[in-house]
């Protein structure tokens, strides 16, 4: 009987130690992983990841979040990674997107295309392609066919000049990817 009493006392002591040391530590870690989220006019504590998924913004204090939620936030139509959604310009920038005044304008610029930029072809949105200084095509084949290769550093008669690869070859030159490489390997003929 005495052993059972000691076991109970030991169990209660362990639980007491847990609540004194471990539980506050767990709460402290949990508190560090949470923020006060202002999403769609509502303030609630949650993780930054959950807040971002809800299109909200994180704040350190409930007061800051409440103040932000009370102020009407300007909205735009954001094109980010090929998707369109309405959000604040700050959230759009956070997602590496571009803001538009209208939904139609955002959808028009957010369509996927095959982009030719600086002689390289890749899948992109229309707005991303424009930002790279490229031209959009409907198909990969069309983009590859109509996308001129980037110029190379051509060693031509001992001189280093920048030309299209086909022109360099046609004139009897040799192409290099970098100017340094061309200068190092170009000898007067």
Mean pLDDT of successive 10-residue stretches along the chain, which has 189 residues: 54 48 42 82 90 88 85 83 89 90 91 90 90 92 88 90 89 91 79
Minimal CA–CA distance to 70: which of 41, 37, 112?
41
The whole-number pLDDT of residue 62 equals: 92
The whole-number pLDDT of residue 25 equals: 37
The whole-number pLDDT of residue 140 equals: 92
- Collapsing DSSP to helix, strand or coil, 157 comes out as coil
**Cα three-residue angle 97-103-108, rounded to 5 degrees:** 75
Question: Does 128 share its domain with 91?
Answer: yes
The whole-number pLDDT of residue 21 equals: 45
Residue 175 φ/ψ, nearest 5 degrees: -85, 145
How far is residue 35's CA from residue 59's CA, in Å, rounded to a whole number? 6
* Residue 48 burial (CB count, 10 A): 14
Q: Is residue 25 part of a domain?
A: no
Task: Count structural domains, the chain.
Answer: 3
The whole-number pLDDT of residue 28 equals: 42
The whole-number pLDDT of residue 166 equals: 84
Residues 6+ apart with CB under 8 A from 151: 119, 162, 163, 164, 165
The whole-number pLDDT of residue 188 equals: 57
| Cβ–Cβ < 8 Å for 78, 85 | yes
Q: Is residue 23 part of a domain?
A: no
Q: Looking at the whole model, is its pTM more than 0.85?
A: no
Structural domain containing residue 53:
32-71
Q: Is residue 87 part of a domain?
A: yes
Q: Is residue 54 part of a domain?
A: yes
The whole-number pLDDT of residue 27 equals: 43
- Side-chain half-sphere CA neighbours of 163 within 13 A: 18
Give the H or E element holding residue 46. Answer: strand 42-46
Task: Provide the edge-to-edge strand list for the sheet that holds 76-80.
Answer: 83-87, 76-80, 98-100
Q: Is residue 173 part of a domain?
A: yes
In which region does residue 123 sit, left (phi positive, over 0), alpha (psi from -120 to 50) or beta (all else)? Answer: beta
What ranges in 33-164 are assigned the alpha helix state H?
48-53, 62-70, 89-94, 103-109, 126-131, 140-146
CA 163 → CA 81, 175, 177, distances in Å?
34, 8, 11
Question: Does 135 share its domain with 163?
Answer: no
Question: Does 141 share its domain with 172?
Answer: no
């Amino acid at each position: 009987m005495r052993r059972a009493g000691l076991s109970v006392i030991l169990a209660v002591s362990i639980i007491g130690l847990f609540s004194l040391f471990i539980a506050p530590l767990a709460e402290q870690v949990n508190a560090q992983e949470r923020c006060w989220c202002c999403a769609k006019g509502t303030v609630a504590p949650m993780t930054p990841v959950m807040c971002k998924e809800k299109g909200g913004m994180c704040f350190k204090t409930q007061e800051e979040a409440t103040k932000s939620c009370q102020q009407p936030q300007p909205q735009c139509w954001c094109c980010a990674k090929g998707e369109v959604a309405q959000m604040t310009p700050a959230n759009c920038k956070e997602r590496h997107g571009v803001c538009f005044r209208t939904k139609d304008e955002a959808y028009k610029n957010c369509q996927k295309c095959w982009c030719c930029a600086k002689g390289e072809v890749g899948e992109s949105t229309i707005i991303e392609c424009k930002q790279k200084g490229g031209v959009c095509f409907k198909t990969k084949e069309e983009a590859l066919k109509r996308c001129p290769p980037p110029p190379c550093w051509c060693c031509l008669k001992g001189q280093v000049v920048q030309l299209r690869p086909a022109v360099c070859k046609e004139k009897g030159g040799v192409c290099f990817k970098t100017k340094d490489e061309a200068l190092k390997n170009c000898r007067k003929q």
